[in-house]
Amino acid sequence: MYPQLAIEAAAQSDVGRRRSHNEDSFAALPCLGLFMVADGLGGNAAGEVASRMAIEVVKSCIEEDGDLEDTWPYGTARPHNRDEVRLVMSVRRANRAIYETSQQQDEMRGMATTFAGVLLGAGMAYIAHVGDSRVYRMRGGRLERLTRDHTLLEELLRDGDGALAAIEALSDRANAVTRALGCDESVAIESRVEATAPGDIFLVCSDGLWGPVPEGQIAGILEAHRDLGLAASLLVDLANEHGGPDNVTCVLARLGGG
């Protein structure tokens, strides 16, 4: 593990205005440099189980900081991407745990969850995600999305020619998630590595925030309020003011340093 970094953090989660229970799970762990959000999918509270498992398994793996016995040659990773591999392998282990549980317990069959996580190290941020939970970075007054949604809409947009007509035909299916943890024995986990700078703010959130709230308003709150606890609370309030159509969760982490 790296020496402990100077990281401020805050998190907030709410059921929203239209749901009966909250299937989002999250963790803000400055001591590990680890910040995560998972948005559960599946009925009868199974989504809540899946999202909680994702957070717990990834946290446990990062805490262990040992070799993960998976197909990726973890021990041969180059030093600069070792933590990217470590994070991705942790998410892969979470996927397997959720899938196996869903196969063994009838009441959990079909459960799944999105996942987005950031692991902050010395001068670098390691990001892994599956589904439509997002990671943003606020730097110099500019909010930048660091993940791309795994949804029909974004996949069609990436296809290029003919995508707009297909999107129109999809109507309310356009935002359907195309991959999630727990659906299959294996899952494609998207990752990236970003250099960090002092003062960077990372926002990890479920679609209950970015769906109803325009990114410009999210950036405005982060710019106007230095207190991360207040900012997180205001973001959740804003999502609910916009109708609160889903569970809403946001995790904030700001890097210190001069």
The domains of the chain, with CATH numbers, are 7-255 (3.60.40.10)
Can you give the pTM of this predicted structure?
0.90
Q: Is the dihedral of CA 214, 37, 95, 73 positive or negative?
A: positive
- Enter the tokens of residue 205: 């959130």
Residue 20 CB partners (closer than 8 Å, separation 6+):
none
Residue 127 CB partners (closer than 8 Å, separation 6+):
87, 116, 117, 118, 119, 135, 146, 147, 191, 192, 193, 194
Nearest in space to 187 (alpha carbons), one of 108, 93, 111: 93
- Enter the tokens of residue 60: 């446990």
Residue 250 CB partners (closer than 8 Å, separation 6+):
11, 12, 13, 37, 203, 204, 205, 206, 209, 232, 235, 236
pLDDT, tens only, 66-114: 555 454 544 444 445 789 999 999 999 999 999 999 999 888 888 999 9
pLDDT, tens only, 157-209: 776 555 565 655 566 666 788 999 999 999 999 999 999 999 999 999 999 99
pLDDT, tens only, 5-23: 899 999 999 999 999 899 9
C-alpha 54/C-alpha 95 separation (Å) is 7
